[in-house]
Amino acid sequence: MHAMILPARGARLQYTERPDPIPGPGEVRVKINACGVCRTDLHVVDGELPDIAYPIVPGHEVVGRIDAIGESVDGLHLGTRVGVPWLGSTCGHCPYCREGKENLCDAPLFTGYTRDGGFATHLVADAGYCFPLGEDGEDAELAPLLCAGLIGWRSLVMAGDGRKLGIYGFGAAGHIVAQVARWQGRNVYAFTRAGDTEAQHLALSLGACWAGASEDRPPAELDAAIIYAPTGPLVPLALRTLRKGGRVVCAGIHMSDIPSFPYDILWGERQIVSVANLTRQDGVDFLETATKAGIRTHVTVFPLDQANEALARLRDGKLVGAAVLKP
């Protein structure tokens, strides 16, 4: 197999040949057809997440077909097309797992962070955490659903049922969630970097009723705002757009420091909440919704060995929609 391996914090990924991995009990090996490039991959590469054991293969928006099966695997077969998400496994016995909150598990593994991921031709995954994808849709277009879509869905649910929804950071997750929100009948207000007319045009083409810079005030008070950009100063900006009782949802795994802000923009029972990981039920619910809503992703495809270029373009804000690697 071949993989783009991160040898050390902040290093460039290296295109490397390795022996094919062998699935153990309860595991499957997936021959990868596409892997999305997520902002969390940048946090891994830049060493912004704790306890990374190098070398590691990033990537957690994986679409491929099972080509080897370990012992004690039921319900999956050779050739089945599956998605492998960020949540790689959980312990099953900590208080959070017992309460149905496996996204908060005390001893999880994460694809592309604490176990090798999808910037490769093959990976081994826990069979219980793979999602069968059926045969509809192109691999590259499905890949962003496995994190941008799943975390986007969880953040949308946490935002509540308000009809006026702000989305800060209109990239991979934002452009998927906007489509779901419009399908649900909500009004979407898209916030982008100043001058990012491409992202604003994409938002409007997907049904947003307004698009502007993050510093702009929208033409109406919002019921909720979701922040996908890892930028702490967006939190007080989003708070200022909310009606009383509104909610800001911080959807990233990492964010720069939130600056101090006056209490009066939080008062009125406004809330700030965070999203942590996902559950397998999130995956079931979202993939069903994505089919019903006819979600279409906007992707730029890169060869596997150009993963560094894809990450650089994501870091510099030069992507519209999502990047996807294809071996």
Query: What is the per-residue pLDDT for 81?
Result: 98
Average pLDDT across the chain, whole number: 97
Cα distances (Å, whole numbers) of residue 325 to 33, 121, 164, 278, 302: 9, 10, 34, 23, 5
Residue ranges and CATH numbers for the domains of the chain are 2-135+297-326 (3.90.180.10), 149-274 (3.40.50.720)
Query: What is the per-residue pLDDT for 21?
Result: 97
Q: CA angle, corner 222, sides to 224 and 175, nearest 5?
A: 65
Which two three-digit tokens encode residue 272?
């700030």
pLDDT tens digit string along 159-211? Answer: 999 999 999 999 999 999 999 999 999 999 999 999 999 999 999 999 999 99
Q: Please tell me whether residue 132 adopts helix, strand or coil conformation.
A: strand
Kindly write down the DSSP assignment for every residue of 174-208, as one continuous string: HHHHHHHHHHTT-EEEEEESTT-HHHHHHHHHTT-
Query: What is the per-residue pLDDT for 66?
Result: 98
pLDDT tens digit string along 220-232? Answer: 999 999 999 999 9
Query: What is the per-residue pLDDT for 210?
Result: 98
Helices (H), the chain: 39-45, 95-98, 139-142, 148-158, 172-183, 197-205, 234-239, 280-293, 307-315
Q: In whole angstroms, what is the distance from residue 259 CA to residue 274 CA?
A: 16
Local confidence band at 125 (pLDDT 50, 70, 90 cut-offs):
very high
Query: What is the per-residue pLDDT for 215?
Result: 97
Kindly write down the DSSP assignment for every residue of 110-126, as one continuous string: EBTTTB--SSBSEEEEE
Query: What is the per-residue pLDDT for 257?
Result: 97
Sign of CA dihedral 154, 158, 164, 167: negative
Q: CA angle, corner 300, sides to 299 and 305, nearest 5?
A: 130
Local confidence band at 137 (pLDDT 50, 70, 90 cut-offs):
very high
Query: What is the per-residue pLDDT for 273?
Result: 98
Beta bridge partners of residue 213, listed in sequence order? 192
Residue (of 83, 78, 102) closest to 23 by Cα position: 78
pLDDT tens digit string along 64-103? Answer: 999 999 999 999 999 999 999 999 999 999 999 999 999 9
pLDDT, mean of residues 285-299:
96
Local confidence band at 4 (pLDDT 50, 70, 90 cut-offs):
very high
Helix axis angle for 280-293 and 172-183, nearest 10°, is 60
- Main-chain phi, psi angles of 251, to 5 degrees: -100, -5
Query: What is the per-residue pLDDT for 198?
Result: 94
Query: What is the per-residue pLDDT for 148?
Result: 96
State the pTM of this model.
0.95
